[in-house]
A and B are shown apart, each in its own frame.
Chain A
Amino acid sequence: MADDKLSYVRGEMIAAEQPPVSNRSVAGWLRTNLLATPKDVVLTILALALLAFTLPAIINWLIVQASWVGSDRSVCATIAQGGIQPDGWKGACWAFVHDRFQQFIFGRYPIDERWRVMLVGALFVVLLVPLMIPKLPHKTINAILLFVVFPVVAFFLLHGGYFGLPRVDTPLWGGMMVTLILSFVGIAVSFPVGILLALGRRSHMPIVKMFCVLFIEVIRGVPLIMVLFMANVMLPLFLPVGWTIDNFLRAVVGVALFASAYMAEVIRGGLQAIPKGQSEGADSLGLSYWQKMRLIVLPQAIKVVIPGIVNTFIGLFKDTSLVAIIGMYDLLNIIRLNFADTTWITPMTPLTGLVTAAIIYWIFCFGMSRYSAFMERHLDTGHKR
């Protein structure tokens, strides 16, 4: 008892040693991450060579040589091409993008009426942002406002013809606005329809099941252009003589049908991942089919397939660019329209325009994929294997 304090036992904790120099110094990092084996050395050198070859050229084109201000093609053309740049000049023509940016966003929408588009855009942001932040309350009302009330308001605002607003027909719509409208409608329609189709495909009623399988497989088996083309060519044939259907509406129908079939397959994957016990448990509680689906099965199934759902949304957003082929002026096509415009026709215009479009599409798609990763972490209840 007397000697519970042993003189050779240290009384206090010692501070943790620093990791060995080889692990914490820059040289150590380089050795483990870039130069671990002879093969790595070769690969690193090759990669550096590739970067040294491409990066300066890209930065040079994008920023250093780029032409930033100007009002016509002369600032982006060499002297031989009738411009002011020295011969052999190669650089981005940002002056063109700056000059035409309004058109990229609104298409040929009348300038005096563009406040309507901006108002719709602002409404959309105001309704979407609270829905995307998990902490904020009143999700149901918010969702109803966004997916039921907002489309109606947006239609009347954009199309006009009522309440003293001048009418703006859909052929005048264009640019980013068309891309966003098509994606929004596609998403808003494909999600519920996809759920119904997925439930139908797993239904025990053979006729309903057969119909759903047929619809899903036919749509998934053909390219989107084919579906859009069918909507464009066949829909007018399917309607009674004398009825016409708006071109824009045809594209919307095509995109929505296409996305629904893909969404159905994603959701079916989620439904298959939910153990049968969940469904049987709901049955034993006396829930009806729709209660069972709404309260027990679908919430779990959808949570499992969030990445797949967002991938479908991203795919849909990218695929809206195909409406160019049936003659609509979405973001990509309105940019391409300018390539033949004599005001800005230079060898550098197409590349600049396409790079601009790529950056815009990239920001939207990358944003969606990051948000999906965030939601996946947020909804993870630790049941993952």
Chain B
Amino acid sequence: MTDNAVTAPPPKRETTSLIYDPKVRSIFFQVLTVVVIIVSVMWIAHNVSSNLARSNTASGYGFLNGRSGFDIGQSLIAYSSDSTYGRAILVGFLNTLLIAVTGIITATIVGFIIGIGRLSKNWLIAKLCTVYVEVFRNIPPLLVIFFWYSGVLAILPQPRDAIHGPLSTFLSNRGLTFPYPMWGEGASAIPIAFLVAIVLAIVFGFWQKKRQMATGKQLPTGWICAAIIIGLPLIAFIAAGSPLTFDYPIEGRFNLSGGGTIRPEFVALYLALSLYTAAFIAEIIRAGIKGVGKGQTEAAAALGLQPSKTTQLVVVPQAFRIIIPPLTSQYLNLTKNSSLGVAIGFPELFSTGSTTLNQTGQAIEMISIMLTIYLTISIVTSLFMNWFNAKMALVER
């Protein structure tokens, strides 16, 4: 019965319901997501516009050119209450960068020392470092800031009874007053000499590496570079006729006059963020060093490397690979935590930004500005550290 087989419908692939087709499902869910997002954005936009219309708030960034009318205690650039809102935000941004850079440097140094200390064979040192890490990791950073600000710095004596430090410095509840350097004529040669020195040091570094590759001979590169970087500006300083005088603080009857002052807000924020982040960095450094296999150290010893050379050439470069990614996120955390300065009145970005917001009522504009700046800082840092990480990464076959 062959014609039976011919007339029979061709064997059809068993069709399943479209619900079970992964492609259809995926498209369905994505369309659903888009619809939900669009609908909620439209709803929010409608609410925002009606809310703004009700409160008669003009939108746009024109307000940035208006007179700010508030004072800022600490500023890296010229600023007065007659300056614009835009400049106030710039001052805040620079202060955020200042606290981030100084904090990151200090936190890295302290964290490195504590992290190495926890690995020390010396029982007492290891225990002390452990106590440091466990104390700081388990309390909020804001509390550490308040500790320094209202617990320690606020109960220092009044300026008239200020504590005398070495080199004509004075410590009081107004901050640390110190002789302020005044640069005279020809001082601009020094930063130029410094830049030239850095370029020279880099060139020298490359040359010495090439020479080592060719001949196998080493020079004390680190010392020579340090000598160039310190020496050249020093020569420029002497050549320009030592154009430096100091404005010494003078103790008056009630107050200190003259000199430069580091305000207690900055000191509190700087100390708190550095010490707090250092505890986390210490743990990262410790994990990184422990993450380098014991076999590496033993192999280095078998090759006859000295312990110091083993650390320098074998352990640290490998530990770096483990350390860099979490270290980056700690640096970003410190930068973001600098916004806690608002709690003690340190004029960083968030502080000046929210003051501006309160005065102008431009909520959406101000938040978009602050959001953009913080995200830019994050992205730039991440990109730089990713590049650095890729450069350090193990080249595998």
Contact = CB atoms under 8 A, between A and B. Distances in A.
Given A207-B30, A233-B357, A336-B146, 9 more contacts: A44-B124, A205-B29, A205-B33, A211-B37, A222-B378, A223-B340, A230-B371, A240-B47, A351-B151
A318 B30 contact: no
28 contacts: A36-B122, A40-B121, A47-B122, A47-B124, A205-B33, A218-B371, A221-B375, A221-B378, A223-B336, A224-B336, A226-B339, A229-B354, A233-B367, A237-B47, A237-B51, A318-B140, A318-B141, A332-B140, A347-B155, A350-B150, A351-B151, A351-B152, A354-B143, A358-B139, A361-B140, A365-B138, A366-B138, A369-B138
A321 B143 contact: yes
A369 B279 CA distance: 15
A222 B138 contact: no
Given A33-B123, A347-B155, A361-B143, A206 B367 contact: no
Interface of A: 33-34, 36, 40, 43-44, 47-48, 50-51, 204-208, 211, 218, 220-226, 229-230, 233-234, 236-241, 314, 318-319, 321-322, 324-325, 332, 336, 339, 347, 350-351, 354-355, 357-358, 361-362, 365-366, 369
Interface in B253-305: none
B137 interface: yes
Contact of B51 (A34, A220, A241): A241
A207 B31 CA distance: 9
The 10 closest A-B pairs by CB, nearest first: A365-B138, A33-B123, A221-B378, A223-B336, A318-B140, A351-B151, A223-B339, A350-B150, A321-B140, A207-B30
A47 B125 contact: yes
A223 B343 CA distance: 14
Given A222-B371, A229-B354, A48 B124 contact: yes
**Candidate in B138, B340, B342, B378 with the most chain A CB atoms within 10 angstroms:** B138
A321 B364 contact: no
Contacts of B135: 362
A369 to B, nearest CB: 7
A379 B294 CA distance: 27
Given A218-B375, A240-B47, A234 B140 contact: no
Given A221-B375, A325-B342, A241 B50 contact: yes
A223 B255 CA distance: 38
Contacts of B125: 43-44, 47
A365 B30 CA distance: 40
A200 to B, nearest CB: 9
B182 interface: no
Contacts of B152: 351
B34 interface: yes
B34 to A, nearest CB: 6
B385 to A, nearest CB: 14
Interface string B334-373: 0011011011000000100010010000011001001100
A50 B342 CA distance: 34
